[in-house]
């Protein structure tokens, strides 16, 4: 639906205050011009004219006796810019500034309406559900079509094309993957997509819903006789493969001017939910740069031979219980980290923290959860001085 939003600082926006520089200003002109422009913006929003208002609309909003002066003041202040509409008639373009006023465009409204029509069309949605089941075609995780439909695990229909011609132009997707793709082209979507499952997974409630649906009954569609185990949303169905969470299309140099900061949606369209894979390709690791920092503090010979080798004692068999996110030998507190390195675990250069943001890994004293101090620091002058102070 159309809406207009004003910024919290709109009343003190520079354009609003620039009316004070007008020679015609008095104690009412600032508020009068502000109210006039807001009325014009509301009219543009209601009729989806995308910040453009006709001259007749401006006269109607200002009143015939004040129209000429208010339009002149608004143009001089920067509220309006005189343009011509599609038919060559006199019109005005409102200032486009999200900190002042922001309205939804005609394209956004029409696209939302089209999605709602497609998502409520059983000739499209039922074949898509029968083909894909209750799992996202990108990450392969179970989605939830019941209950809250706004979360990351909610079941949605992703449009591969804006003009949907058949069920081939839509797929089941979780809210997280659908939000991450934004307006990515179809080629980018298909590149990240998993093939249709050979045996779709249906939650028990989905099967009950399909059996009673008029479209399924009318077209004599055969459904599985028994339902599989009810798998919670966000997990991989039994016997199926997991995919990879969808990501936005790579940014091209032409998509944003040089020096312009990225918006929050460009930095992470999924709301800072999807993280890149950690070391060894394990997405469970929080910090993908952890191995890089460790290797920077090691000598070239040691890194090439064995990054975990400390050079002391014979090597035993590999620990099969060791997690891929925890290397065999964590870096010590004395290990030098380059001063220019800003580590994402702490945000400070040379902090020495590992990818989990802490040097504690539970391998030191029993039950303490702290790592044992390096041997080089056990009898250091600083520790001897602390012992003497305690005595």
Domain map of the chain by residue range? 4-104, 107-201
CA distance 304 to 234: 39
Instruction: Kindly report, residue by residue over 56-98, the tens digit of the pLDDT.
Output: 999 999 999 999 999 999 999 999 999 988 788 899 999 998 8
Q: Which two tokens stand for residue 363?
A: 């391998």
N-term to C-term CA, the chain: 75
Q: Any residues with CB less than 8 A from the CB of 217 and at least 6 apart, and which?
A: none
Q: Interhelix angle for 29-46 vs 55-62, to 10°?
A: 130
Instruction: Kindly report, residue by residue over 142-173, the tens digit of the pLDDT.
Output: 999 987 666 788 999 999 988 898 999 999 99
State the alpha helices, DSSP H only, in 133-203: 175-181, 186-192
**Whether the predicted pLDDT of 315 surpasses 70:** no
pLDDT of residue 191: 93
The residue with tokens 């075609």 is 137
Mean pLDDT of 19-40: 93
**Whether the predicted pLDDT of 295 surpasses 60:** no
Confidence class of residue 380 from pLDDT cuts 50, 70 and 90?
A: low
190 or 2, which is more confident? 190
**Whether the predicted pLDDT of 260 surpasses 90:** no
Confidence class of residue 251 from pLDDT cuts 50, 70 and 90?
A: low
User: Does CATH number 1.10.10 belong to domain 4-104?
Assistant: yes
Mean pLDDT of 319-347: 42
Q: Which two tokens stand for residue 102?
A: 């922001």
pTM: 0.53
For 197-229, give the DSSP string: PSS----HHHHHHHHT-HHHHHTT----SS---
**Whether the predicted pLDDT of 179 surpasses 60:** yes
Which of 197, 130, 196, 116 is closest to 164 using CA atoms? Answer: 116
366 or 176, which is more confident? 176
Q: Which two tokens stand for residue 26?
A: 């008095």
């Amino acid at each position: 639906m159309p809406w207009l939003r004003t910024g919290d600082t709109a009343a003190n926006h520079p354009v609003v205050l620039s009316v004070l520089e007008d020679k015609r200003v008095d104690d009412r002109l600032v508020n009068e011009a502000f109210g006039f422009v807001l009325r014009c913006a509301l009219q543009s929003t209601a009729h989806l004219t995308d910040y453009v208002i006709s001259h007749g609309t401006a006269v109607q909003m200002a009143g015939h006796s004040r129209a000429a002066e208010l339009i002149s003041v608004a143009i001089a202040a920067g509220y309006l810019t005189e343009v011509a509409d599609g038919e060559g008639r006199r019109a005005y373009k409102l200032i486009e500034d999200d900190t002042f006023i922001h309205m939804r465009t005609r394209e956004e409204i029409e696209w939302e309406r089209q999605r709602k029509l497609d998502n409520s069309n059983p000739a499209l949605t039922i074949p898509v559900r029968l083909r894909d089941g209750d799992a996202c075609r990108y990450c392969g995780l179970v989605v939830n079509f019941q209950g809250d439909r706004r979360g990351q695990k909610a079941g949605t229909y992703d449009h591969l094309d804006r003009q949907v011609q058949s069920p081939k132009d839509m797929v089941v997707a979780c809210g997280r993957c659908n939000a991450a793709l934004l307006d990515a082209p179809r080629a980018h979507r298909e590149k990240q997509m998993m093939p249709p499952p050979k045996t779709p997974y249906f939650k028990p409630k989905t099967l009950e819903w399909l059996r009673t649906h008029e479209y399924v009954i009318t077209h004599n569609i055969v459904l599985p006789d028994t339902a599989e185990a009810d798998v919670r949303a966000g997990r991989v169905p039994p016997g199926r493969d997991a995919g990879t969470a969808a990501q936005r299309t790579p940014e091209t140099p032409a998509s944003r001017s040089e020096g312009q900061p990225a918006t929050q949606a460009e930095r992470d369209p999924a709301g800072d939910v999807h993280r890149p894979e950690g070391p060894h390709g394990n997405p469970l690791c929080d910090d993908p740069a952890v191995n890089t920092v460790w290797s920077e503090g090691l000598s070239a010979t040691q890194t090439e031979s064995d990054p975990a080798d400390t050079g002391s004692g014979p090597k035993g068999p590999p620990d099969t219980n060791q997690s891929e996110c925890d290397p065999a030998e964590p870096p010590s507190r004395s290990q030098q980290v380059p001063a220019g390195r800003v580590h994402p675990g702490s945000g400070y250069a040379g902090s020495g923290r590992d990818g989990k943001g802490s040097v504690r890994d539970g391998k030191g004293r029993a039950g303490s959860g702290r790592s044992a101090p390096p041997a080089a620091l056990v009898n250091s002058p600083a520790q001897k001085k602390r012992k003497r102070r305690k005595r």
